[in-house]
Amino acid sequence: MYLYDLDTQNETKIAAVYSFPAIYGNRVVWSQENNSSAYDIYLYNISTQKTGKIATTNRSGPESELDIFGNVVVWTESGNVYMHDIASNKTTQVTRNGNSYQPAIYGNRIVYTVGNPYIGSNKDIYVYDIPAARTTRITNSTLAFNPSVYGDKILYADCRNNPEYCETRDIYLYDLSNTSNNLVANFTGNVSTGTAPLNVSFTDTSTGTPNAWYWDFGDGEISNEQNPAHTYLSAGNHTACLTVSNANSTDSKLATISLK
């Protein structure tokens, strides 16, 4: 892996690895296999010319999908998106669905694909707001993938015009500042903790005039009611997700239901 300086026209070898690096400012990040057949995330500081390991992943494949902005590095591991704050040395798991890929970051937003971007359909673009810890679904074509983000703009590829083979890929731009997209999912539950079996009554409090509701209760059960009730039968932490949509937008909200 090499670094080329456009001003000085100097080329510098950074590491002897097979990897897909990312750069922001004076920092370069990449993944590198370790002796345990897992992959570590490394950072190279251009100013100091020093290399250091910032995280260890637990998967057996290279973390080729990674990005950096400011102090935050994002990558995929076992189908989930993680972020690492270099300043605080803290790693946070962003997704838990085991089906998230291709993360990119700019500012306080992480974009990624949910669904395998390399085969089949059932893949869409999501954005995660870091300060609010909030996830929003951006597309609903089930054929969108490979997102990038800059400011309020999200760019992605979509095979909606060639859904059978996905050989014709068009590029779409989504504007987060567009007020017609301001659908915000939200809900409350009468209880969030208890002992199984636990009956929870959910109330939709979304704004932006949704006209469709999809509840994933986190235990394999779903509902299309606006205000459903659900009985949790097993102990553990269950992630309830409400996805609302209308003609202009789709948005999702997550909450944890804990049972003993």
Question: What CATH number does the domain containing 222 carry?
Answer: 2.60.40.10
State the total domains in the chain. 2
Do 158 and 228 share a domain, yes or no? no
Residue 121's pLDDT is 80
Quote the pLDDT of residue 137.
85
> For the segment 2-51, what is each residue's pLDDT rounded down to a tens digit?
999 999 999 999 998 878 899 999 999 998 888 887 888 999 999 999 99
Reduced to 3 states (helix: H, G, I; strand: E, B; else coil), residue 179 is helix
Please list, residue by residue across 23-35, b when 16 or more beta carbons sit within 10 angstroms of its beta carbon and e when fewer do: ebeebbbbbbbee
199: exposed, middle or buried (Cβ count in 10 Å: 0-12, 13-18, 19+): exposed
Shared domain for 117 and 215, answered yes or no, is no
CA distance 56 to 208: 41
pLDDT of the residue at 61: 56
Residue 25 confidence (pLDDT): 95
Residue that is last in its domain, among 127, 159, 177: 177
Other CB atoms within 10 A of residue 59 CB: 15
Whether 28 and 75 share a structural domain: yes
pLDDT at position 62 over 60: no
> What does the block give as tokens for 215?
């509840």
| Whole-number pLDDT of residue 145 | 95
Angle at 46 (CA atoms; ends 43, 52), nearest 5 degrees: 25
| Predicted model pTM | 0.75
- Examine the domain organization and report whether 20 and 93 are in the same domain: yes
The verdict on residue 51 lying in a domain is yes
Which of the residue ranges 20-24, 117-121, 197-201 would you say has the lowest mean pLDDT? 117-121
Are residues 45 and 129 both part of a single domain?
yes
In a domain, 79, yes or no: yes
DSSP assignment string, 20-58: --EEETTEEEEEEE-TTS-EEEEEEETTTTEEEEEEE--
pLDDT band, residue 255 (cuts 50/70/90): very high
Domain enclosing residue 35, as ranges: 2-177
Q: Give the separation between CA 241 and CA 252, rounded to whole angstroms.
A: 7
Q: Is residue 182 part of a domain?
A: no
Query: Are 234 and 171 in the same domain?
Result: no
Single out the residue in 116, 151, 177 at which a domain terminates.
Answer: 177
In terms of domains, do 102 and 39 share one? yes
